[in-house]
Structure 1
Amino acid sequence: MDTQQNTALTRALAEVPGPLPTSGVIHIVIPHTDRFTVVGNHLAQHPDLSCTAVGIAVRIQSLPQGVEVSIKALAAHCREGEKRIATALRELEALGYLQRIRQRLPSGRVITRTVFCNQPTALLRPHHPASAPPHTQAQARTQAAPAPAPAPAARPEQAVPPNQPEPPAPEALAAPPVPPPPPPLFVPLVPPPTAPKPPPRSLPRPSEPTPELDRAATAFLSDLHRHAPQFTLSEDDVRRLVPGVAAWLERAARPDAIRHALTDDPPHPLKHPAKLLRYRLIELLPPPPPGIHDLAALARPRITVTPFQTCDDCDRAFRSPTPGHCRDCRDSRQARSPAAQVPLGPSPALSSSS
């Protein structure tokens, strides 16, 4: 029995323009009239995306606005499992097709929005409207620009005096100014996924590590599960967090205050207690206690009081840092001092003898 021929396929192949290739795929392009999605070749032929990621991207791009595209929602409608879908979503997120944005609502609640961009490279450059072909632009300018009116003949009495500058040419007056380029219609507010991230902050360490601080911090972390059972740490976690607790103890923080700051109001469920403790040890580090010189600067300055002295001449009391005479006695002594001095010069006896 002969093989049944598909007449519709044969007719479609006959309508393909040009000679058919001898090998490889043959495309029969039938225009879509409804229920279709435009997919760019940059996505369909992306060299760094797996076929699963391309298929998941096409699936998400074909869904309407507001449809949930979580891992479980996609797994409910696809044959791939949750692990393969999660891997595909990470590939799309690394290349910018998929982005997750955290946004705070007016009520204070923080939600995560999932944004899918069909052409992420277009977000990084300003978008300008597509320009028309050159012949179309020239035709439009010819139709829009009116024909220049003939310049009137200059009359003898309207001649330009030689001392004044000549008027500008009609072509210069008719030339419109070049408008500035339009601003970009879309400016991305979310940095690309390949943008460099700041390095994580390091765990605080004591300025003068001592064996006593190390033992106290180790005992504190090892005993933490008795007060908060969800903070059960492994030996490696305790060894990594010891410098941070030692820095708190060095700053005169009491163990109960440290325990309250580190374990109060944890998230539910708590998946990584060591990461939460490390974050709080860094962000809630108390300031160092003030030194002796800092406290002396805060103390109230003393007022220097000049003591009382007794005058050696009149026994009057007066204020002075050293004993001596009061002001009146000093003035009287200065008044009597010129009369008590002997004038300088030769004596009268010596003058008469000579």
Structure 2
Amino acid sequence: MDTQHDNALAHALAAIPGPVPPSGVIHIVIPHTNRFTVVGNHLAQHAGLSLVAIGIGVHIQSLPAGSEISIKTLAARFPEGEVKIASALRELEAHGYLRRTRVRLAKGRVATRTVFCNQPGAVLRGGVVPGAPGAPVVGAAVRNPAPAPALVREHLRATGPEPTLVPEPEPARVPEPARVTEPEPARVPEPARVTEPEPTLVTEPARVPEHIRVREPEPTAVAGARPAPIRLPAPTAPKQPRRPLPQPHALTPERRQAASALLADLRRHAVELVLSEEAVEELVPGVAAWLERDATTDAIRHALTADLPKPLRHPARLLRHRLTALLPPPLPGVHDLTAPRRAPVTPFQTCDGCERAFRSHEPGHCRDCRAPYGEAA
């Protein structure tokens, strides 16, 4: 008794004229009477646009003229982020559906004018310039309460013969009218700017997040004024000079031969430490300084081959650094290792007269008792 049967869907499928396809989507077409938008298949089935770009294009086409279509507005309306929405707008701009131009206002401020064309191919074939008398009006992000004749024409074309349209009066245009041109090749476009309404019916750009905005000089309030200079960061501190390689007091032939043999034998213990003859000759004085300080060959080999970085790109530089930074001090002598002798201490003596203690090497009387007894100090 708890199973629900959807009889409305069964009746709707039964009312479909013609045979039902055995597979794929089945359309139930119910004519719209209000709140609908005519969208061409060239946009809904575009092979070069992503699904996000197609959806945003359909959404923009369904909005009335003067609606906000900035990146922040679309990101607040849909779950997609600002980066994905900005990429979709660039796709629409590359295929001719969207046109964004920057115009300078009377007070020297810069604004972005956005124009959307529902049929860029028809405009290109007919050579029609948007904004001219008799041309189809495209939905733009400016304040224009009049309905778009292009949408009315599409609806009348679908329902009956196309009537003759009376050209509307030419609207007020900015010094440089927005023109729809053929799609440009893929390039790095200027970042989309959020627009806001202006008294001159042109929207004002707002700030775009830093991760999708190209740094540009801030617009000035007075037209023709120079932008403020960009301050460069302070130069980094100079690097410390490299410490010189340790040198022995006397580079004898025996120490030179032992140092050369030790450096050439390092590749047997670590395959990364393959040195050239020039590098061996350069590092010989450093190894000889270790040998002069009574360091054993095993100790030197362990200091040079322990904990090698992966990968090792410059073995000679690493050995030079370790020979310089890990140089041991000279071994102390035999006399340096003996404990220091303490100064001799004068013992205590007991005075024979007053029984007080005093320091003296020989027994006798204290300082107070020496005068009566006539003893010398």
TM-score using structure 1 length: 0.38
Greater RCO between the two (CA within 8 Å, min separation 6)? 2
TM-score using structure 2 length: 0.36
